[in-house]
Structure 1
Amino acid sequence: MKTIHEFLEYLQYEKNYSKETIKNYEIDLLDFESYLSVHHLTKQKLTYNDARDYVRFLSEEKKESATTVSRYISALRTYFNYLVSEDELEKNVFSLVKLPKKGKHLPKFFYYNEIREMLESIDRSTAVGQRDYLLIHLLYATGVRVSELIGIQLEDISLDRKQIKILGKGAKERYVYFDDQTKACLQIYLKEARPSLAGKKKNNDLLLNQNGGPLTARGVRYLLNKIIRKTSIEKNISPHMLRHSFATSLLNEGCDIMSVQELLGHANLSATGIYTHVTNDRLKEVYYKAMPRAKK
C-alpha cells in the first residue's frame, strides 16, 4: 500500500500543490489513520458506510465546523483517488460522501482605522518590529494568501515597479502591487532589518524569523495574534482576514470585481463572490446616489 508520504510527494511534484495545502492534507490524513487504527479498520476493507461514519465522527464527536469537515473529505477523496489510480484500491469510498452544507456568512474584515491601530502598536526600533510592520503592510496592501506571502523570494520583488511576482495555487504566477507606504517599509526592511535577522545565513526568502530561517505560516499567525493583543481591537485575527480587508477596501472604493478577481488570484469569478459584500455605509451611499426617489 502506498504511504501517505508517497502521496504527499505526488501532490508536491506532480500536482504542484502549495506547501500549506500539503501540510493540511498530511494532518488530516494522519488523523484519519489514527481513527482507522482505533476502530480496527483498514483502507482495503473500508465501506461507504464506514466513510459516512467517519464524517459523522468529525461533525458530532470532534465538533468540527462544516468548513473543516469539507476539508477532510476533500483530502480523503484526493487520497483515495490516488490509491485507486495506483491500483491499490478498487473504489473510492469517499466519492459519494456529501459535503456538509455551510452556513452563509459575510467574510470578517478590518476597517482601515483598525489596520492603522495595528501598525501603530508595533515597535519599529528593532529588526523584528520592522519585519512585523512590513508583514501587516504586505498582507493588507496586496491581499496575498499566507502561503503566497511566505513563498516570496527577494528576486520576486520590483521596488521600481512596485510589484511582486506571486506563485499562487496550482503553481500559477501572477503579479500583485503595492503602494508607496509599503515600498518605504520594504526598503527599510531590506536595508536594515533583514540583514540583521539573516546573520550569517544565506537564503532568498523575503520574510525571516529570529533565527534567520524563512518565516512559516504558523509563525505568521502567531505574530498576528501577538500584534492584535497590543491593540484595543476585540476581534480574532488571521492572515485571511487581512485578505478579506484588502478585497473589501478595493470594492468599497469602486474597483470592479473582475479586477479584484485577478488581484486575488481566483481561477473563477464565483470564488470572488464572497467578497462582493460591502460595508453598510458604502451600501447606503450607493443607494442614495442611485435611487431616483432618494435624490434631492
Structure 2
Amino acid sequence: MELVQPIRDEKKIKAMVKVLLSNKRDLLLFILGINSGLRISDILKMKVSDVIDEKGKPRQYYELKEEKTGKYKRFPFGERIQKAIMDYLKDYDGDRDRPLFASRKGNKAITRQQAWQILNDAARAVGIEDNIGTHTLRKTFGYHAYRSGIDIAILQKIFNHSAPSVTMRYIGITQDEIDNVYINMNLG
C-alpha cells in the first residue's frame, strides 16, 4: 500500500467538488470524508437512516462504533455535510436501511476500490498528481483542521493516535515544516 497525501491546496478541493457535482452520491462521499475525518470503512457502512430522520431531514450528528478501533465516536454534521446530504437525498422516500453509498448494481454499498476510483478520477481531472487514496479524505480533514488552528492534541484524540508526533506525521505537517526550513534558508 502506497503512502497517500492530504489535498493541501484548497483550490484543488473546490475543483474536485465541481468535478463531482454531476454525481450527488460521489460528492457526498467526498464532502463527508474531508469534513469528518472518518475512515472510509466507517463511511461506507453508513445507512440512509444514519444521516436523515423519519421526516427526511438531516440528522444533527452521527454516532458509530469505529470498525478499526472498536471505540464509540460521535460527531455533528456541519453545515456543508448537511447540505450535501440534502442535495443527495432530497425527496428520498425509499428504504432507510439501504446503504448511504449504494452501488448501482444492487442494494450493497460501493466498495473501497470503487471509492478509490471515484476519488482518483476526480483528483486526476483537476491535475492532482500526488498519490491519492481513500485515506486522503481523512488526512485532508486533519491537515486543514491543523492549519486552521486546531490543537494537535485534539486531532490526536479524533484520530485515536498514540502521540501528537504520530498525528503530525500522519497529516503531512512534519514534512511540510522540514521543507519550509530548507526553502527559507537563504544564507550567504
Tell me the matched-pair count.
Answer: 169
Say yes or no: does 1:144 pair with 2:38.
yes
Task: Tell me how far apart the structure 2 counterparts of residues 235 and 156 of structure 1 sit (CA, whole Å).
Answer: 32
User: How far off is 1:223 after superposition?
Assistant: 1.4
Task: Tell me how far apart the structure 2 counterparts of residues 153 and 122 of structure 1 sit (CA, whole Å).
Answer: 21
Q: Which residue of 2 aligns with 1:10?
A: none
Q: Is the 8 A contact 2:98 2:108 kept in 1?
A: no
What letter corresponds to residue 163 of structure 2 in structure 1? L
Q: Which residue of 1 aligns with 2:186?
A: none
What letter corresponds to residue 120 of structure 2 in structure 1? N
**CA pair 173-157 structure 1, distance change in 2 beyond 3 A:** farther
What letter corresponds to residue 130 of structure 1 in structure 2? K
User: How far off is 1:268 after superposition?
Assistant: 2.6
Task: Tell me how far apart the structure 2 counterparts of residues 183 and 123 of structure 1 sit (CA, whole Å).
Answer: 15
Q: Which residue of 1 aligns with 2:18?
A: 120
Alignment of 1:113-192 (within 5 A): 113-124=11-22, 129-157=23-51, 159-161=58-60, 163-168=61-66, 169-191=68-90
Alignment of 1:84-103 (within 5 A): none
Say yes or no: does 1:206 pair with 2:100.
yes
Structure 2 counterpart SS, 1:121: helix
Cα RMSD after superposing both structures:
2.9
Say yes or no: does 1:108 pair with 2:13.
no
Could you say which structure has the higher helix fraction? 1
**CA pair 157-203 structure 1, distance change in 2 beyond 3 A:** closer
What letter corresponds to residue 5 of structure 2 in structure 1? K
Using CA pairs below 8 Å that are at least 6 residues apart, which structure has the higher relative contact order? 2
Task: Tell me how far apart the structure 1 counterparts of residues 118 and 19 of structure 2 sit (CA, whole Å).
Answer: 13
| TM-score normalised to structure 2 length | 0.75
Q: Is the 8 A contact 1:251 1:276 kept in 2?
A: no
Flag the structure with larger Rg. Answer: 1
- Percent identity over the alignment is 21
Q: Which residue of 1 aligns with 2:145?
A: 250
Task: Tell me how far apart the structure 1 counterparts of residues 140 and 128 of structure 2 sit (CA, whole Å).
Answer: 15
Structure 1 counterpart SS, 2:173: coil
Structure 2 counterpart SS, 1:171: coil
User: How far off is 1:166 after superposition?
Assistant: 2.8
Q: Which residue of 2 aligns with 1:261?
A: 156
User: How far off is 1:139 after superposition?
Assistant: 0.8
What letter corresponds to residue 90 of structure 2 in structure 1? K
Q: Is the 8 A contact 2:156 2:167 kept in 1?
A: yes
Task: Tell me how far apart the structure 1 counterparts of residues 143 and 43 of structure 2 sit (CA, whole Å).
Answer: 19
1:213-249: CA deviation from partner (whole Å, max 9, x where unpaired): 2122122112112222322222331111121111011
Task: Tell me how far apart the structure 2 counterparts of residues 273 and 164 of structure 1 sit (CA, whole Å).
Answer: 26
Q: Which of 217, 227, 230 lines up with 2:125 in the alignment?
A: 230
Q: Which residue of 1 aligns with 2:185?
A: none
1:52-81: CA deviation from partner (whole Å, max 9, x where unpaired): xxxxxxxxxxxxxxx78xxxxxxxxxxxxx
Task: Tell me how far apart the structure 1 counterparts of residues 50 and 162 of structure 2 sit (CA, whole Å).
Answer: 25
Q: Is the 8 A contact 2:25 2:88 kept in 1?
A: yes
